Amino acid sequence: MNAHHPSPDSQRIWLTGASSGIGLALAEELLAAGHRLALSARRSGPLQQLSERFPSQVLLVPGDLGEASQVEAIGERIRLHWGALDMAILNAGTCEYVEAADFQAAMVERVLRANLLSAAYCIEAALPLLRAGKQPQLVAVGSSVTYFPLPRAEAYGASKAGLRYLMDSLRIDLAHEGIDVTLVSPGFVDTPLTAQNDFPMPLRWPVSKAARHIARRLSARPQEIAFPTPFIAGLLLLAHLPKRLQLAIGKRLARPTSSQPTAPRPASDKDVQP
């Protein structure tokens, strides 16, 4: 099969957060498999490079997914070009860590907008297109942080917990329409965003390995894709401990808090934190 042309059984896929990290690596995997991709991110440079390599497979639909009007325009462009979607992969997101000594609601709002509200905007735009597609599937990249509360992850964890509930409920409500719903729950993945972390990241996967795993599992249309298995198993075990033991473990994981103001992280187009 020529990877630079759509395959006969190619899917029409909208992938967000495609400029770096998991999104970029997953775009490479799906394009190599012959699928057609509508690629979204704020930064258009990496998307343009993919378009030049796969000109007959890539539709560029850049924009700020935290702005509902821009997402609506992206959905309309996809409709005009393809008429429908067979899959939407909502991968865009970011991470900022809370310092309890300087708790900032504005930071929580930023993370919720990037990780949860943007997904809701994309779902609103994608559902009419998926309803017109073949064997439609809605996919969102969540996080394994939702299994067990971790220190300083209040904003990130809350946004991903909300995304998990959103997808779990949609799976029920969309079942009668034949739209399958899949949640991806990665552990630590080696990306530019996790490179900024200042704490140990056990069982971290290379981004290429994570993308291959996701692409391979998507065809089975599971309810959830969680990896790596030993890391997920450990979190699930911790989640079943009594709350007082969970608190004791969490306190051991926490580091001394700083009274310095929390500087916002640069906005990110992908979701790579656990």
What is the per-residue pLDDT for 190? Answer: 78
pLDDT, tens only, 95-145? 899 999 999 999 999 999 999 999 999 999 999 999 999 999 999 999 999
What is the per-residue pLDDT for 4? Answer: 66
In a domain, 271, yes or no: no
Instruction: Identify the band that residue 64 occupies on the pLDDT scale cut at 50, 70 and 90.
Output: very high
In a domain, 260, yes or no: no
Q: State yes or no: pLDDT of 1 exceeds 70.
A: no
In a domain, 51, yes or no: yes
What is the per-residue pLDDT for 153? Answer: 92
What is the per-residue pLDDT for 270? Answer: 52
CATH code of residue 61: 3.40.50.720
Rounded to the nearest integer, the mean pLDDT of the chain is: 90
What is the per-residue pLDDT for 205? Answer: 95
45, burial (CB in 10 Å: exposed 0-12, middle 13-18, buried 19+)? exposed
Q: State yes or no: pLDDT of 28 exceeds 80.
A: yes
In which domain, by residue range, is 34 found?
Answer: 12-253
Total domain count, the chain: 1
What is the per-residue pLDDT for 265? Answer: 47
What is the per-residue pLDDT for 9? Answer: 82
Rg (CA), the chain: 18
In a domain, 182, yes or no: yes
pLDDT, tens only, 174-194? 999 999 999 999 998 977 667
Residues 67-91 have a mean pLDDT of: 98
Neighbours of 204 (CB within 10 A): 18
What is the per-residue pLDDT for 86? Answer: 98
In a domain, 4, yes or no: no
What is the per-residue pLDDT for 261? Answer: 46
pLDDT greater at residue 258 or residue 167: 167
Q: State yes or no: pLDDT of 68 exceeds 50.
A: yes
In a domain, 264, yes or no: no
261 DSSP assignment: P
In a domain, 274, yes or no: no
Q: pLDDT over 70 for what percent of the chain? A: 90
In a domain, 123, yes or no: yes
Q: Which residues contact 29 (CB under 8 A, 6 or more apart)?
A: 211, 212, 214, 215
Strands ordered across the beta sheet of 36-40:
58-60, 36-40, 12-16, 87-90, 137-141, 180-186, 224-227
pLDDT, tens only, 197-223? 767 788 889 999 999 999 999 999 999
